[in-house]
Amino acid sequence: MSKIKAVVYGVGTMNCIITRMLVDKDVDIVGAISRSPSKVGRDLGELTEINRPLGVLVSDDAAEVFERTRPDIAVIAVNSFMADEVPQLRICAEHGVNAVTLSEEALYPWNTSPEITAELDRIAKSTDATLTGTGHQDTYWVNMVAMLMGTAHRIDRVIGRASWNVADYGLDVAVNVQIGRTTAQFEQWLRDAQRPGTFGRNVLDALVADTGLTVTSITTETLPITATSAMHFQSLDIDVAAGNVIGFTDVDEIQTEEGPVFTFEMSGRIYGNEEGDINEWSIEGEPNLVLSNGTVPTRLTTCTQLVNRIPDIIAAPAGFVTMEKLPQLRYRAFPLHSYLNGN
């Protein structure tokens, strides 16, 4: 069986890790695409965790790369929202190239971006390509939760709690999310800000769609998280007075006609020492059930799931196939191409 041929689309933090994982799993990287002038023309291996030449030069011409290399899959890590992601997904679909993206909205975009998702689905079906969104949320916020739900007889309520570390994204993001402001300033910002939709919405959309329940209302509420005492955050060199903002929680909630309520609380804040990303879910019903993954290395589990999903995406039917429709995710102990043809 021949190796899987992949094109790396976007050469940022995530694809630097993913490129190394693909090489580890014996994937043949045949092309790399980036718009960044500082990367175009350079060897992908030198820009990523490989740290040695791969013989693959970064190009800014996606169409040329696809026509020349005819890859089995394109690995896209460029944008978070479907509106920004359309050009990349469309060019893959038009060239009949399967694509997997880390765009958070692409995890389940049917309700938040229905028209462009339907259009991409139509193009992909016409060229026999599969488009799928994945990432940390695939297993940890959707499929593992759906599996936990599968062990319940009756569900009244599903509640998820996860977090991200504002400090991981630098001072600009921290300022942007109002770190250090008073709660009054935060509320004012919240009223005025044109914040995009939450990704928690896409997570709950996927979970609820999988149950077949009928959605009656969807709400999002945002609550500030405040410092319990004066705090100094070394990683960003920021001081925050007691009572002022150290982050916020987006609470998405879906109510259903049949009764079950789904809530997802996503907190972005500055962590204290020893804190990490959490993933905690509870189900109220018969019986009550819980799931926790301690502290999760979200960035790595985003990359691992994308890589381990590749054989299933290549084998999947054509169209925009969201991850809850794929087979149960499995560990890939061997070269990735050994899992093609149902192995």
Distance, in Å, from the CA atom of 277 to the CA atom of 164, rounded to the nearest integer, reads: 6
What are the C-alpha distances in Å from 9 to residues 61, 99, 191?
11, 9, 36
Q: State the minimum distance, in angstroms, from the CB of residue 58 to a second copy.
A: 24
Residue 30 or 158 having the CB closest to a second copy: 158
Distance, in Å, from the CA atom of 264 to the CA atom of 251, rounded to the nearest integer, reads: 6
Q: State the minimum distance, in angstroms, from the CB of residue 214 to a second copy.
A: 10
Residue 272 or 342 having the CB closest to a second copy: 342
Q: State the minimum distance, in angstroms, from the CB of residue 66 to a second copy.
A: 27
Binding residues for a second copy, per CB under 8 A? 21, 24, 139-140, 143-144, 146-155, 210-213, 258, 260, 286-294, 296-297, 300-301, 303-305, 307-308, 327-331, 333-334, 343
Q: State the minimum distance, in angstroms, from the CB of residue 327 to a second copy.
A: 8
Residue 13 or 288 having the CB closest to a second copy: 288
Residue 37 or 212 having the CB closest to a second copy: 212
Q: State the minimum distance, in angstroms, from the CB of residue 293 to a second copy.
A: 6
Q: State the minimum distance, in angstroms, from the CB of residue 338 to a second copy.
A: 8
Residue 63 or 300 having the CB closest to a second copy: 300
Distance, in Å, from the CA atom of 287 to the CA atom of 41, rounded to the nearest integer, reads: 58
Residue 112 or 139 having the CB closest to a second copy: 139
Residue 185 or 282 having the CB closest to a second copy: 282
Q: State the minimum distance, in angstroms, from the CB of residue 283 to a second copy.
A: 9
Q: State the minimum distance, in angstroms, from the CB of residue 140 to a second copy.
A: 7
Residue 250 or 253 having the CB closest to a second copy: 253
Q: Write the secondary structure of the chain as one string of H (helix), E (strand) and C (coil).
A: CCCCEEEEECCCHHHHHHHHHHHHCCCEEEEEECCCCCCCCCEHHHHCCCCCCCCCEEECCHHHHHHHHCCCEEEECCCCCHHHHHHHHHHHHHCCCEEEECCCHHHCCCCCCHHHHHHHHHHHHHHCCEEEECCHHHHHHHHHHHHHHCCCCEEEEEEEEEEEEHHHHHHHHHHHCCCCCCHHHHHHHHHHCCCCCCHHHHHHHHHHHHHCCCEEEEEEEEEEEECCCCEEECCCCEEECCCCEEEEEEEEEEEECCCCEEEEEEEEECCCCCCCCEEEEEEEEECCEEEEEEECCHHHHHHHHHHHHHHHHHHCCCEECCHHHCCCCCCCCCCHHHHCCCC
Per DSSP bridges, beta strands 231-233 and 215-226 are unpaired
Q: State the minimum distance, in angstroms, from the CB of residue 153 to a second copy.
A: 5
Residue 184 or 333 having the CB closest to a second copy: 333
Distance, in Å, from the CA atom of 244 to the CA atom of 239, rounded to the nearest integer, reads: 10
